[in-house]
Structure 1
Amino acid sequence: DATAAPICIIAPISSWAAAVGSNLKTTGAFTSDFSAFVATIPYNFYALLSLVMVAVICLTNADFGPMRRSELRALKGDLGAVDVPQASQFEAAEKGKVWDMLVPIGSLIVFAVVGLLYDGGYWGSDPAYHTMAAAFGNCTAAKALVWASFGALVVSFLLFVPRGLLSFRTFMDGAVEGMKAMLPANIILVLAWTISGVCRDLLQTPVFVQTLVADGNVSGGLLPAIVFLIAGFLSFSTGTAWGTFGILIPIVVPVAQGIDPDLVVVTLSATLAGSVFGDHCSPISDTTILSSAGAGCSHIEHVSTQLGYACIVAFCCFVGYVIAGFTKASLAWSLGGAVAALLVSVFFMHMLSMKRQPDAIVQENAN
């Protein structure tokens, strides 16, 4: 989950970049929307610090908070809310190779990219969409992903059945089981979209945030940090990063131009970073729901265990944006301060968690 949206928001060739660019067009503040998006990447502290957090946790095993409690419980054999799969009704094929897994996954990625370009008009009659950035911005991802899924399924069929790895019946039974496994996630998604609609249409959360930003008297130095918090709140409440882009970008860019033109790029980056933060830890976000479903973990368990990590990263991002606001967008000071704050925070929280929750294995060895 931590390497999903944070990667997409700093990938120049992606539908996310196209979505940001389409919102930037309405401001008229940049001569090149693509160049403006690329300029935000070094200041997108949440995306960068999320990747640093993943690397630090993987290399040092410095878990803390609810995640550490869950891991200690798992070490004792209690998997808690994890949905442990029952013994499979399918027998493993003796002739199966690693490539039998990599080729279908690779074909899924290739078909998805080709489908996005085709649906966006890359090979169409309109020359305006004959670039990758324009085609990605014009595409409908839902249709392209359906085509990619079907194409990968056909590739798997041709790879497995003719070679005798799986019988036709076993292959089709496996496909049906895979679809059934996604049904709970689809139900949660539908209900989450319902809650998101209530926040957006009935509670008028976007209008409230828009008024708060437009009418608030914000000092220049604190502008990026405050925009980051507002974007995070709105994205968390509605469960969508893209919707947050569309609401805040047309507002914050003119505000930043009026307060301090030197902070326009940093403020735009703070908008994108806050949007991803809220989307990353929101229980009604599609990325959160599908991550928990893919891991076979209880949805609420996943939300509670990752929330501590996400909030630590967000706190360090806030520190970085405060520094950026008062140093006229100095990347060295702001990003360096944010990374330093992250490392200190992670190891402090780990040491604090060690005192409250001694490692079960250490206790057993001592006994």
Structure 2
Amino acid sequence: MEVTDYFGPLSLVPAGVAVFLAFATRNTVFSLAVACLIGVLVAGKGFQGFPDLLVGALGNEGFSWILLLEFFIGILLAFFQRTGAVTNFSLFIERRRMTRKRIQLVSWFMGLFVYFSDYFSPLFVGSTMRSLSDRYKISREKLAYICDSTSAPVSILVPFTGWAVFVAGLTIGMGPVANAGDAMGFFITAIPFNVYPILSVLMVGLIASGWLPDFGPMKEAERRAQEEGKVVRDGGEPLMADELTGIEPYAGIRTSLFWNFIFPVMLVIGFALVSVSLTSSAKPLEAFMLATFVLAIIMRLQGVPLNEITSTAMLGIKGIMPAVVILAFAYALNDLSAALHTADYIVSITKSWLTPSILPLLVFIISAVIAFSTGTSWGTYAIMIPISVPLAFNFSGGELSTLVYATLAATAGGGVFGDHCSPLSDTSILASTGAASDHIDHIKTQLPYSMVVGVISMVAYLWVGMSL
């Protein structure tokens, strides 16, 4: 969708409407659809602009890639359940004398381990741990929080992920960063300054271990789960269809925890790591396609009929569709925000305030606002890094310095912070999907935790800027 006019404050209307309606109605699809419709009217495209927006936003290579990735992840999760792999894994974990605290810590550890894909991590951890989490009366909101806060925050901290390659690649040609090797070195040195993701991951561990007590809406959700046995509130709508959550193991075959669960996961991880080393890209779509096809072959060799394998694959696709629909509207809204120059407007009204002492703080806040408004960290990075990092180099005389490292890290962390607070975020949507949680309930219970870490991060960046 192309819009050439500069809309100023009006460019904030679509995202504002989406966020307001999401919290007011608890219906994410409705909220996003209305926001998109209002957005095209603001842009002067009329009602015909609505289908044009959807065709333009969804009929491109980027969304097709996401769609296929989600389909293959859904199929792989369906295969895990049909072979009894999830049940076998749950029994394996439960034999270790589990408690509520240990289940949460295992979920936290798994999120740290599956770091290579922020799309797969929340779906994998949520789907794998959900039955155990339900058995020990852990609210779906808590599981979604654990999944969400160990996906993007971990991905942005590990140097050999798609996130690292993307962020580092954006800095090539800035200051003394001449090539990909310099850029990755720049990224790695900036990791200790990436306060929000580091504290987010640590906070999950502290909450899961009981060192920090639950507070806010999460405390009520946990009370409801423990005292009333309701892992989802009355009226809540889990963001995963029954086709996927209700798959039963296929009777009459002998399955293996290693071949039906561990091996496919190792295949995905191994393929991703090798791809990063050879091509600087994790190739997650290709990794999940390979794991899905290999597991289908294993299932057939184990005696599962071919028609049963194909029908299970279709259940996996159907089960992931609620998340795909929301992602589709979120992508359309993001495309609309780009056309209305929402991010440009946010940057324009704050750029004149930037000074060396408050640069990391303001960059963190601006990145968070853009990510919150658009629901995408990567889009935020593409907009902010070409602005914030050159500004930092200008202040530092073109040299790598604490200010430059802190500015890059603040941009990266601010994008994750905004994502965690936004009902439009793709990773938060997938966390709700993996945990089969009501999406708005997930955002509402996670928001106080994210805000606490966000405020601490702001104080840290203010201190860094003032100390230079």
TM-score by length of 1: 0.76
Deviation at 1:316, TM superposition (A): 0.8
Matches of 1:159 and 1:2, distance apart in 2? 33
Q: What residue in structure 2 maps to residue 69 of structure 1?
A: 220
SS in 1 for 2:256: coil
Deviations 1:204-258, CA, capped at 9 Å, x for gaps: 21211332343x1334322211111111001111111112112111222232233
Checking the alignment, whether the CA contact within 8 Å between 1:82 and 1:298 is kept in structure 2 is: yes
Matches of 1:289 and 1:160, distance apart in 2? 30
Matches of 2:429 and 2:294, distance apart in 1? 28
**Within-5 A mapping of 1:37-76:** 37-60=187-210, 62-75=213-226, 76=228
Is 1:323 aligned with 2:323?
A: no
* TM-aligned CA distance change 1:47 to 1:293, over 3 Å: same
The one-letter code matched in structure 2 to 1:67 is M
Moved more, 308-317 or 256-265: 256-265
**Within-5 A mapping of 1:291-310:** 291-310=431-450
* TM-aligned CA distance change 1:262 to 1:108, over 3 Å: closer
Deviation at 1:112, TM superposition (A): 3.9
Moved more, 263-272 or 88-97: 88-97
Deviations 1:165-192, CA, capped at 9 Å, x for gaps: x333333222221111111111100001
Q: What residue in structure 2 maps to residue 240 of structure 1?
A: 376
Moved more, 4-13 or 149-158: 149-158
Is 1:222 aligned with 2:358?
A: yes
Deviation at 1:41, TM superposition (A): 0.2
**Within-5 A mapping of 1:147-296:** 147-164=286-303, 166-202=304-340, 204-214=341-351, 216-260=352-396, 262-296=402-436
Matches of 1:25 and 1:250, distance apart in 2? 10
RCO comparison, higher one (Cα < 8 Å, 6+): 2
Matches of 1:262 and 1:319, distance apart in 2? 16
SS in 2 for 1:25: coil
Deviations 1:113-164, CA, capped at 9 Å, x for gaps: 45x45xxxxxxxxxxxxx64xx22xx5x7xx333322211222123232123
Count of equivalent residues: 304
Deviation at 1:34, TM superposition (A): 1.2
SS in 2 for 1:297: coil
The one-letter code matched in structure 2 to 1:77 is G
Q: What residue in structure 2 maps to residue 95 of structure 1?
A: 254
SS in 1 for 2:302: coil
Matches of 1:193 and 1:163, distance apart in 2? 40
Deviation at 1:5, TM superposition (A): 0.9
The one-letter code matched in structure 2 to 1:22 is G
* TM-aligned CA distance change 1:170 to 1:324, over 3 Å: same
Q: What residue in structure 1 maps to residue 129 of structure 2?
A: none
Q: What residue in structure 2 maps to residue 122 of structure 1?
A: none
Moved more, 26-35 or 302-311: 26-35
Q: What residue in structure 2 maps to residue 5 of structure 1?
A: 152
Q: What residue in structure 1 maps to residue 49 of structure 2?
A: none
TM-score by length of 2: 0.60
Deviation at 1:93, TM superposition (A): 5.8
* TM-aligned CA distance change 1:93 to 1:256, over 3 Å: farther
User: Of 266, 291, 296, which residue of structure 2 is paired with 1:106?
Assistant: 266
The one-letter code matched in structure 1 to 2:219 is R
Where in structure 2 are there 5+ consecutive unaligned residues?
1-147
The percent identity for this pair of structures is: 34
* TM-aligned CA distance change 1:57 to 1:303, over 3 Å: same
Matches of 1:92 and 1:105, distance apart in 2? 23
Deviation at 1:88, TM superposition (A): 4.2
SS in 1 for 2:171: helix
Matches of 2:269 and 2:166, distance apart in 1? 20
Matches of 1:223 and 1:269, distance apart in 2? 12
* TM-aligned CA distance change 1:262 to 1:105, over 3 Å: closer
Matches of 1:102 and 1:92, distance apart in 2? 21
Checking the alignment, whether the CA contact within 8 Å between 2:429 and 2:439 is kept in structure 1 is: yes
Q: What residue in structure 2 maps to residue 332 of structure 1?
A: none
